[in-house]
Chains A and B, each alone.
Chain A
């Protein structure tokens, strides 16, 4: 990151990153190094990527190669155990606050699908309808409805039904799950939770007592129908880095109640079309590419709204090349979604040298995004209500490690 960012660090204003708000300091980018420092997680370096490749005998996912998933906690322990023959399970989730899902929402799910396939492990997906009911003031019915709708888009990412359990909090909380919630809650003082999440005296008690709900899926005993004989099973949580506070709390509590600490693998934020000052917002349709966007919409949004580092005129561009110091959105997005490493390198080189124009880069991006959204839409069309019921049914998964 640039030197001037360091000077800014001394100012009062800090970037804000927590599960409910993400914003950089004025006009700047998110400082991920500072974030890693502040949160206390580790950088995911190339050696990890290589190790994953070795263990799974397949090329690592594009998000790993490009540093989209860039931070972790205890990933080495998971990999060590895996090498010894001790499997793990995956846990990820979604807060169903809106029907419209954008590409940023899909990122953790795309990566989790890869992890499920590569490591051949089961997955639980939590839909925090209760959280959205409380934070976004939705009715119970509406949040449950959104949870089911979002589940369809999640399923469309290609999860294997014989190894995946999707649940919504309103449906599933109770029994063994609730017992673990109480165990966790007993270990976290009110002051601590205020410190981690920034609650105030004005916040209602629902919010204050929510964190255990997101913590306990990290413990296999929360799912007796899945893991009844495997109390020792470890958990790996792929998520965006703003979810880290929940799991810092969970990792703090876990040993005190006799459970393994969950491991984490964390991603960057997917920048809005207008530039990297924060993450995409579901309330601004032009800040994001939605999974329901048509090819025309995508073309329009990229051409009109994507913030680029291209120069003002073609002549200047050919002379100086693109300014890749700022966040050039087309390049950034291609970084996420263009599979071919060689092609990406080529584009960066040519664009930076001025030989390739902004328009051409945008055109390539539009192709890539359109194909992605098309594929998603086709998969989504195959998801029925019955399929959602099946994914969400409390049922055994006998082949979950195959």
Chain B
């Protein structure tokens, strides 16, 4: 049985939190709420009740004007791009024990909401007062951030405010900045595998690296290969020539053609006549030999390196 709004208000008074309250007809949206308390000297808040794929719940409490992008938030939490959805209506009643349109940080007073994570908009701190529903949407109360914090601390939470509009990059070298807000200890139902690779043993790692893309992405192997230090590389490295036989042959032909063309001219034809062929061949061999050998050595070294890399990542046959 959740707290009622009266119990909450009593509690707030006991905590000596300064607030103002306004009664009005039931409102389900911020716009509707604005009609009644929009001019009462407090900023309006919008409150979202969200759920991720692992059945963890979040309340995002922000100023009505703050832009909240669920895709960005999802990434910042480390849930990938589409990891956050609006929670289903039932969850409102079951977990927050509030009616529709009444999502509020105050719902966290309920035991059932113990594992719900709260993200507070830092914009709230900039306002003198902010409006929230105290567990019922026929009342709005306004209080300042300090008061809100006092309340939250009384529920055993440590309030922390976040710039909800920020969109920092999230990648291999930049971990999701809001990862700390993921609830721990919540009941996690088995779910579909998502993008973030779960930590497997080392062979598992290699398999996922192998299937991700052709030999271009090097993932740090977990210590089972000595002597090889690999740098994690994102995607294609532009200046790497792989041992491409076609390209190699084109380079050889290019060099030979250039030399050939320079050797055959009116003068040289006059000079050598029928012997021009032999003369040109001799020159080509003399000039190109070293050059072509060098190209071939580079090709060989590149191919060997590809084979070496494949060898050290090879999965022995399962018996």
Please tell me if the beta carbons of B227 and A161 are within 8 angstroms of each other in the complex: no
Interface residues of A, dominant DSSP:
helix
CA distance A384 to B239 in the complex (A): 9
Q: How far is the CA of A385 from the CA of B301 in the complex (A)?
A: 12
B113 to chain A, nearest CB (A): 50
Chain B residues near A394 (CB-CB < 8 A): 227
Once the chains bind, are A158 and B294 in contact (CB under 8 Å)?
Answer: yes
Contacts of B237 in A (CB 8 A): 384
Which stretch (B36-44, B95-103, B186-194, B302-310) binds chain A?
B302-310
Number of interface residues of B (CB under 8 A): 21
Q: Given known contacts A389-B229, A389-B230, is B308 in contact with A382 (CB within 8 Å)?
A: no
Q: Is A342 an interface residue (CB 8 A)?
A: no
Residues of B contacting A395 with CB < 8 Å? 308
Interface presence of A49 (CB below 8 A): no
**Chain A residues within 8 Å of B308, by CB:** 386, 389-390, 393, 395
Say whether B228 faces chain A, with CB atoms less than 8 Å apart: yes
Report the separation of the CA atoms of residues A160 and B293 in the bound assembly, to the nearest whole angstrom: 11
Q: Is B305 within 8 A of A386, CB to CB?
A: yes
Of A117, A382, A394, which is in contact with the most chain B CB atoms at under 10 Å from its CB? A382
Query: Quick check: B297 and A158 within 8 Å, CB to CB?
Result: yes
Q: Quick one: closest B residue to A378, CB to CB? A: B298
Given contacts A162-B304, A381-B239, A384-B240, contact A389 B228 (CB under 8 A): yes
A394–B231 Cα gap in the complex (Å)? 19
- B residues 281-315 with Cβ under 8 Å of A? 293-294, 297-298, 300-302, 304-305, 308-309
Do A155 and B301 touch (CB < 8 A)? Answer: yes
Q: Is B218 an interface residue (CB 8 A)?
A: yes
- A392 at interface by CB-CB < 8 Å: yes
Segment 216-242 of B: residues with Cβ below 8 Å from A? 218, 227-231, 237, 239-241
Name the one of B218, B228, B301, B305 contacting A160, with C-beta atoms under 8 angstroms. B301
What is the minimal beta-carbon distance from B312 to any residue of chain A, in angstroms? 8
Q: Which residues of A contact B239 (CB under 8 A)?
A: 381
**Which residues on A sit within 8 Å (CB–CB) of B241?**
382
* Chain A residues within an 8 Å CB radius of B309: 386, 390
**Partner-B contacts on A (CB < 8 A):** 117, 155, 158-162, 171, 375, 379, 381-382, 384-387, 389-390, 392-395
**What is B's interface to A at a CB cutoff of 8 Å?**
218, 227-231, 237, 239-241, 293-294, 297-298, 300-302, 304-305, 308-309
